[in-house]
Chain A
């Protein structure tokens, strides 16, 4: 599975890492829903750290799409909310 960390690069992660990422991902989602910045920052930092530690970085010359994307490590909750909201408006327009 390939994960992109925005403003960083792409990483190949194995299945067990992908599972752990999934669990942390739900924490990130809950923090977003509750507007809990502290929890958000913590979850994002842990996710980025895990991808860095367990993933294998792809060379920039490898050109392939990713399965998952993580916000840039320095992103704030508000920034990510805005990014995701562009998706919501798009879905609404479609529907």
Chain B
């Protein structure tokens, strides 16, 4: 059988289920009207639900965008500290966030379309309910006329069909919103777990590394300052620790290697008696 015929009967069957026909057609008219008002309420709630879902996604997108910007800044800072590994890590995370953002944008577009459609449905439903209310009173007033029965039947079938169409559309919209909310929930969980953002917190490993690097940079500077003070107050060469890298006279070249590099002073100390290092230095200068 024709798909369109079958579908038509499915829609009508749904409508019949939604609207139990009364003995008196006039009562059926009143009941139909009540059901329509109920449906109008449902559709209005539907519009509010979509708007809520849309706002939630907008909020998530803002948070993700903030994280992306922060990671960009961190990557820049890491590079100024010669920490390419950290910069790479930050940019990798930023790329993951960009993917999430793209998906959110698609969902957002769909929700906006859904919202527009439901608003339109509400308007149409509103004018249909108004029209039905007027027709219903006319039909009831002329009910004694023989033909009124048929007309009532038609009006009720027509309104039932519209109602089941609207009902199915609402169901579809709600299914979609439920799917999106499940996804939005997943993003919220990611945001909460810190996998995507929360990079300002102490749990942010990139920031921790950057802070460590800048701290050790500060320690280096202070060390250098202290050494400078000591060199100034003691005779040159008496202490094996002259001023910071190459600042001193040429004779200091030998001991430059012995400078306490933050991560390996012992290694540097080993180098000092190494003849090859000295000869190398001499070769250079």
Contact = CB atoms under 8 A, between A and B. Distances in A.
Q: How large is the interface on B (under 10, 10 to 19, 20 to 34, 35 or more residues)?
A: 20 to 34
Interface in A9-34: 9, 21-22, 25-26, 28-29, 32
B6 A63 contact: no
Interface hub of B3, B4, B8, B157 (most chain A Cβ within 10 A): B3
B124 A69 contact: no
A15 B165 CA distance: 25
Interface string A35-65: 0000000000000000000000001111111
A85 B124 CA distance: 29
A28 B169 contact: no
Nearest to B5: A68
B8 A7 contact: no
Nearest to A30: B3
Interface stretch (B38-46, B60-68, B130-138, B186-194): B130-138
B12 interface: yes
Interface in B76-105: none
B162 A69 contact: no
A15 to B, nearest CB: 15
B12 A65 contact: yes
B7 A83 contact: yes
Contact of B132 (A7, A63, A87): A63
Interface residues of A, number: 33
A65 B158 contact: yes
A2 B105 CA distance: 39
Nearest to A33: B3
B4 A70 contact: yes
B10 A61 contact: no
A67 B130 contact: no
Nearest to B15: A65
A63 B158 contact: yes
B165 A6 contact: yes
A73 B46 CA distance: 21
Contact of B4 (A64, A69, A72, A87): A69
Contacts of B132: 63
Contact of A26 (B2, B8, B157, B172): B2
B135 A63 contact: yes
A69 B11 contact: yes
Interface in B137-169: 154-155, 157-162, 165, 168-169
Contact of A61 (B6, B9, B128, B165): B128
A93 to B, nearest CB: 11
A66 B169 contact: no
17 contacts: A4-B161, A6-B11, A7-B165, A25-B4, A65-B12, A68-B5, A69-B4, A69-B7, A69-B10, A72-B172, A79-B172, A80-B3, A80-B7, A84-B6, A86-B14, A87-B6, A90-B13
Interface of B: 2-14, 117, 124-125, 127-128, 130-132, 135, 154-155, 157-162, 165, 168-169, 172
Ranked nearest first, the 10 interchain pairs of A and B with the lowest CB-CB distance are A61-B131, A68-B4, A65-B157, A69-B8, A60-B124, A63-B158, A69-B7, A64-B158, A7-B169, A87-B10
